[in-house]
Structure 1
Amino acid sequence: MSPALAIATETREGDALESQYQKGVKHLYERGIKKVPKKYILPVSERPNLRERKPYATELNLKLPVIDFAELQGANRSQVLKSLAYACEYYGFFQLVNHGIPNNVISNMIDAGGRFFELPLDEREKYMSSDITSPVRCGTSFSQTKDGVFCWRDFLKLSCHPLSDVLPRWPSSPVDFRKLVVTYAKETKLLFLMLVEAILEGLGITTTENKTREEDEETLKEFQDGSQLMVVNCYPPCPQPDLTLGMPPHSDYGFLTLLQQDEVEGLQIQFQEKWVTIKPIPNSFVVNVGDHLE
């Protein structure tokens, strides 16, 4: 075999392997791999240190602010607004409880997302795309077209605005997927708008003391007409979790992120140069201040 032919064969094999990576870590897990492929192995300095137990935020004397949404709607609103502004300014995160979204709406959303990723690969492949403008995009890693090292994460991104335009493009399997996700999208959009109103009021941008209600409504309308993006993240079991990460350190580019965790621990935030694990509160949201708000 000539060297040129050998190189060509090696290139084709490399392309085939790269194609396997593009199909996602769920596909690798389903194939029963026993070792993390080289494409996913982080440099030593960036790997998680699993030999040392990652402490909860509370064990580092850090209590992530908890905002009671019910109190925000009541007589104690002015005090909660101050707590909300403080959480946004000093932490960039807070946990939101008593938000009013029914528990079954949340559990149905988590279930629907999980069942999507349980679909056969040929069903999931229908929505795989590197086009970031696509209203529906299934992919892997953080940015599969740019990442030198891949992350142990698959995702399904759904554009939610305007729903009438994008809904026909959403996955039609599982059969109840669209119905359940639409309900969740509508509920979280309403919650987002009420949170935005409270945050802007806390910042003094909207307040009926200094402006007319019409001016406030004009400001808030910009958010009503704004984009909404939903991301369902899937983190299959990893055979060597000390070599890779589900997601790299990052900030969210939007205004606010409403993150719904399941019971699996793993979400970390950086506070005062330390990474701390956030313990999930059932049926709460972790709210992240995005780059636009910051």
Structure 2
Amino acid sequence: MSPAMALNEQKGKDDIPESQYQKGVKHLCEKGHLNAVPKKYILPVSERPTKSSVEDSNVVKQNLQLPIIDFSELLGPNRPQVLRSLANACQQYGFFQLVNHCISEDVVRSMIDVSGRFFDLPLEERAKYMTTDMRAPVRCGTSFSQTKDTVLCWRDFLKLLCHPLPDLLLHWPASPVDFRKVVATYAEETKHLFLVVMEAILESLGIVEANQEEDDNILKEFENGSQMMVANFYPPCPQPDLTLGMPPHSDYGFLTLLLQDEVEGLQIQHQDKWVTVQPIPNAFVVNVGDHLEIYSNGKYKSVLHRVVANEIKSRVSVASLHSLPFNCTVRPSPKLVDEANPKRYMDTDFGTFLAYVSSTEPNKKDFLESRKVLH
């Protein structure tokens, strides 16, 4: 292709009406074969991913072996040893892979499958759930905020509020026909898994002791806590070095349980380097959220992570984000605050978070930084 033709083709891509971007990146791909990334998705040079560590000293070429927590060992006589591994993972990495958990391979496989089939639906079906209302029980969209973001993410998403499940189920998509049944089963099972893992994390922090009423209360609050499911679809990208599926961010909430297909894409920042997380079949990637960093008074860290695009394959992932009920206040545990460790974060709630993200473009860990107490 001559330089003039290439310039004209790129100009054509840049002339895409704003309304088309609102319909998602998958829609753009379906409208015609994209040979170039539209301008709206191109990151500034300093924020682009690079193909190798030769090009960028902040990218590690090899994959990262995250700490592996064996759920079955957590429930057995080796629990004290596993709790130490859990504490180390939350302090040093902010992430771990959870294997041998209680959720069947069939439930896991069905969740990935039905998510992919939802994104395969015609745009008209997906468009029923497209809204910019962050409080909507069902929200289909693209990027973080396609109306505010300067550069859009190379991904589409479906966000579902999951608690209380009976009240929300009827708002969920009715297509594919098995969608509600599959996702409801998955939501219930991930909620149970979260509760067991969260109890272990509290114990690893030295907070939970046998039959202490105060500690039982926070676990009871988690039982009635918020749960949001986010199914992500990342189409193949013609120029993956110019854009990102998701930019660097930390997760709101206490814990995120991430299910991913076999396609690599998740990268975390570890020791100031971007490293790729190798998917393990039937495992969950679990990460510390901003609320757990606040609650642990900074002992456990929510870590920046991002998603890189793939030139050849599409990728599907499902994140289950868990926290206290939306009307609760999150604050450092009094048991982790003393003279040697003063309170490091202000109290926060969901309203504060929504007000913050509604007023500014999300960037890295800015919200968490805004809650830090200056000593």
- Say yes or no: TM over 0.5: yes
SS at match of 2:290: coil
Task: Give the direction of change, closer, same or farther, for the CA distance of 1:16–1:39 in structure 2 (3 Å limit).
Answer: closer
Q: TM-score, normalised by structure 1?
A: 0.90
User: What per-residue deviation string (whole Å, max 9, x for no partner) do you get for residues 110-140 of structure 1?
Assistant: 0000000000000000000000000000000
CA RMSD of aligned residues (A): 1.6
Deviation of the 1:238 alpha carbon: 1.1
Deviation of the 1:266 alpha carbon: 1.1
Deviation of the 1:52 alpha carbon: 5.1
Q: Which has the higher helix share?
A: 1
User: What per-residue deviation string (whole Å, max 9, x for no partner) do you get for residues 28-55 of structure 1?
Assistant: 1111222211101111111111255862
SS at match of 1:138: strand
User: 8 Å contact 1:128–1:139 — kept in the other structure?
Assistant: yes
User: What per-residue deviation string (whole Å, max 9, x for no partner) do you get for residues 136-193 of structure 1?
Assistant: 0000012212210101010000000001111100000000000000000000000000
| Amino acid paired to 1:37 | P
SS at match of 1:241: coil
Match of 1:187 in 2: 189
Unaligned runs of 5+ in 2: 1-13, 55-59, 294-375
Cα separation, 1, equivalents of 2:127 and 2:15: 18
Match of 1:56 in 2: 62
Match of 2:27 in 1: 27
Match of 1:219 in 2: 218
Match of 1:232 in 2: 231
Deviation of the 1:289 alpha carbon: 0.2
User: What per-residue deviation string (whole Å, max 9, x for no partner) do you get for residues 7-44 of structure 1?
Assistant: xxxxxxx9971110010000011112222111011111
SS at match of 2:292: coil
Deviation of the 1:216 alpha carbon: 3.5
Does residue 146 of structure 2 align to residue 144 of structure 1?
Answer: yes
User: What per-residue deviation string (whole Å, max 9, x for no partner) do you get for residues 217-253 of structure 1?
Assistant: 2221011111000000000111221211100000001
SS at match of 1:252: coil
Task: Give the direction of change, closer, same or farther, for the CA distance of 1:45–1:15 in structure 2 (3 Å limit).
Answer: closer
Q: TM-score, normalised by structure 2?
A: 0.71
Unaligned runs of 5+ in 1: 1-13
SS at match of 2:226: coil
Deviation of the 1:57 alpha carbon: 3.4
> Bigger relative contact order, structure 1 or 2, given CA contacts below 8 A and separation 6+?
1
User: What per-residue deviation string (whole Å, max 9, x for no partner) do you get for residues 185-225 of structure 1?
Assistant: 000000000011000011111111xxx35443222101111
User: 8 Å contact 1:56–1:278 — kept in the other structure?
Assistant: no
Cα separation, 2, equivalents of 1:56 and 1:169: 43
Match of 1:167 in 2: 169
Cα separation, 2, equivalents of 1:56 and 1:85: 25
Cα separation, 2, equivalents of 1:246 and 1:207: 42
Cα separation, 1, equivalents of 2:42 and 2:166: 41
| Amino acid paired to 2:24 | G
Match of 1:105 in 2: 107
Cα separation, 1, equivalents of 2:148 and 2:207: 38
Cα separation, 2, equivalents of 1:50 and 1:65: 25
> What count of residue pairs does the alignment treat as equivalent?
274
